[in-house]
Structure 1
Amino acid sequence: MKFGFIGTNWISDKLIENGNEVEGFEPYAVYSRTDERAHYYKEKHQLSEVFTDLEQFCKSPNFEAVYIASPNAFHYEQAELAIKNNKHVLIEKPATINQAQFEMLSKLAYEYNVTVMEAMKSTLLAPFVEFTNAHVDIGEIRYADFHYHQYSSRYDNYKNGIIENAFKPELGNGALMDLGVYTIAPIIHLFGMPNSVKANGFKLDTGTDGQGNAILDFHTFQATISYSKICDRVSPSEIIGENGYVLIDKISAPSNIKVFNKDGQLIKEFNGETTFTMKEEVIEFINCVEEKKVESSINTHKRTLDTIKVLDEIRKQIGVQFNV
């Protein structure tokens, strides 16, 4: 399957690196706003076509799928144009910056009968899938704590007065959208939609959030999520039940999930890929296209939409606005 790329950054590099491990994957074309950047990316990955006009890119008959890794604020309009040109679309998380936008993309996907999938890698990695399907019994769930803190090198520039895309709210970026989404999606995947959300956040001078946290209430238990681009945290995420607990090494890309009884004895362990952590999302996407499925049965449209609903509520409570 031939792929065209929107976004010539490190995440597109990673997708190509991982995709090259998958049979049937072929990086083919790239769109960039500048001819210089487009040709640089063509040479870097030995691509066949370059475009500086988005409409011409989407209308090209020479590739079937589009991977979108542009700033979050552009996802919707780029995906919409690709879908309307009968392209299958793999969109980096978060798929869109609000609920209404993804509702429209889902509707269009069914109208044009193309695959649309959010590139949420964590829920497709083997340890998470195996854990989810294992029906592990740790008793009644009473608490969960999922977190993703990663100090951004761009924050050093920010403190020196250089504002890069990562801290520009007009691009739909910030700690919640870039990192917090990784904590919310797996919670919804495991437990469904929370009954209520209470959020706090720390905003930078640009109006974007540097870090934040929220309590998601599920009546019989609470889940806390926290995220930051201005500090690190290396401890595992947790699910705690009355009869045991679960430790997840890295919620954004689980490679080791351990299940313990309440006495601290290891009773199950799930291990997986640590190098090519985006490979499974490529495989899932290609399989969906080949099976003529509009949406993944794992990274469903409903899961993506529910995640965005929670993102919208947190942004509303902490006062982050994207002006769209």
Structure 2
Amino acid sequence: MVKIALLGAGKIVQEALTALREVPQMEAVAIFTRPQSRAKAEKLAAKWHIPRIYTDYEAMLTAEDADFFYVGLANHVHYAYARRALQHGRHVIMEKPFAPTATEIRELADLAREKGLCLIEAVTPFFLPNYEVVREALPHLGRIRAVQANYSQYSSRYDRYLAGEVLPVFDPEKCGGALYDINIYNLNLLAGLFGRPQAMHYMANTGYNGIDTSGVAVLRYKDFFATAVGAKDSASPGFFLVQGETGWLRVDGAPNEMPAVTLSYGGRTWQVQKNRYAHRMVHEFQRMAEIYESHDLAAVQRGLSRSVLVGEIVDGLRQSAAMSQP
């Protein structure tokens, strides 16, 4: 049994706990929150039968025997909390976005490598069977000529933002915004499938405090261009579309869930669905448990290399749009 300690009590941690009930290889044994959020932690602990609650992070690192520390806190503190866990010799699961800058991602990756620890970014698409469907289909499409991605979801916090309440997800100083929070999935798919772009540019719709409430990233590859739309101020059906000279494929649904894939080549068009669970995070946690139990550091390093690349792409996009660096 792989024991996991969760940092945070927000929406993503609640999602993680929902998924973990379908992962018999993992058990949630502790939860950490800041003192002012202890009541939320107590409710989660009672609901999910989590035996221990901490509001002192150093005490948790010293006393807790969990195998993984899951960082589900606000974006801007990912680096600090993960670094402290790694320094204590703890394996870490990092919620996306990994860290605000590529430099910080590299530092954490180097620290994990030096200590022989698992450090894994929780980007759900890479753990889904439907991602493998996409990856294996690419060679059948001929030379790729265009890629389009769209993940747009009206934020549950957007109305409060419009009313003047700036929560972390819409706070530039806390690494909020559409690029970090939602378009990051599109960028991960592009980097995972096609590698490093030759050029990139980001154009954003900005709110009253300068945050990008929505935007489009344009990435240029050798033979094609890719556009990635991410929005928190409006909604549309999600998709990921790859056009080749001899065929095409389309992820039908949000890129972070990849619920189905339509393939079209060789004279026929058909749909494939190989994901086995309704909740997008179940496959993710199952695979992480396997990596830990087999001490598959090669898989860890492959993931970290991709995380660094995505961090570099985000840095480049922010620079192109003259957005201040965190």
Residue 137, structure 1, aligned to residue 149, structure 2: no
State the partner residue of 2:260. 256
Q: Deviations over 1:86-139 (max 9, x none)?
A: 211111111111011110111111122110000000121111123313554122
Cα distance between partner residues in 2 of 1:235 and 1:147: 5
TM-score (norm 1): 0.94
CA 1:219–1:322 in structure 2 vs 1: closer, same or farther (change >3 Å)?
A: closer
* 1:58-69 equivalent positions in 2, closer than 5 A: 58-69=61-72
Aligned-residue sequence identity (percent) comes to 24
Distance 1:38 1:172 in 2: 24
Q: Distance in 2 between matches of 1:256 and 1:306?
A: 26
> Hey, what's the Cα distance between the residues in 1 that align with 2:301 and 2:276?
18
Alpha-carbon distance in 1 for matches of 2:300, 2:65: 28
5+ residue gaps, structure 1: none
Among residues 58, 82, 85, which one is paired with 1:82 in the alignment? 85
Task: Classify the secondary structure of the residue corresponding to 1:255.
Answer: coil
CA contact (8 A) 2:7 2:33 kept: yes
| Change beyond 3 A, Cα 1:275–1:217 | same
Q: 1:199 aligns with which of 191, 198, 202?
A: 202
What does 1:148-227 correspond to in 2, within 5 Å? Answer: 148-227=151-230
CA distance in 2, matches of 1:47, 1:271: 32
After TM superposition, give the deviation of residue 84 of structure 1 in Å. Answer: 1.2
Secondary structure of residue in 1 paired with 2:169: helix
- Quick one: which of 294, 297, 301 aligns to 2:304? 301
* Rounded Cα–Cα distance in structure 2 between residues aligned with 1:202 and 1:54: 37
Deviation at 1:186, TM superposition (A): 0.7
**1:19 corresponds to:** 20
Aligned to 1:4: 5
Match of 1:28 in 2: 29
User: Whole-Å Cα distance in 2 between the matches of residues 322 and 191 of structure 1?
Assistant: 26
Q: Is the Cα contact below 8 Å between 1:245 and 1:262 reproduced in 2? A: no
Contact 2:183–2:228 under 8 Å retained in 1 = yes
Query: Within 2, Cα distance between the matches of 1:149 and 1:16?
Result: 25
**2:49 pairs with 1:46:** yes
Q: In structure 1, what is the equivalent of residue 290 of structure 2?
A: 287
SS of the residue corresponding to residue 213 of structure 1 reads strand
- CA distance, structure 2, for counterparts of residue 87 and residue 248 of structure 1: 36
Give 1:7 shift: 1.2
Matched with 1:230 is 233
Give the 3 Å change call, closer, same or farther, for CA 64–262 of structure 1 in structure 2: closer
CA 120–290 in structure 1, closer or farther in 2 if over 3 Å, else same:
same
Deviation of 1:226 (Å): 1.0
Task: Identify the match of residue 59 of structure 2 among 56, 59, 62.
Answer: 56
Residues in 1 aligned to 2:29 and 2:182: alpha-carbon distance in whole angstroms: 29
In 2, distance between residues paired with 1:226 and 1:54?
A: 37
Give the match's secondary structure for 2:299.
coil
Shift of 1:78: 0.2
Asked if the contact 2:238/2:255 (under 8 Å) is kept, the reply is: no
| CA shift for structure 1 position 278 | 0.3
| 1:70 match | 73
Alignment partner, residue 117 of structure 1: 120
Distance 1:206 1:296, change over 3 A: farther
Q: Tell me which moved more, 112-121 or 126-135.
A: 126-135
Distance in 1, matches of 2:271 and 2:160, equals 43
Aligned length: 322
TM-score (norm 2): 0.93
Offset, 1:13: 1.2
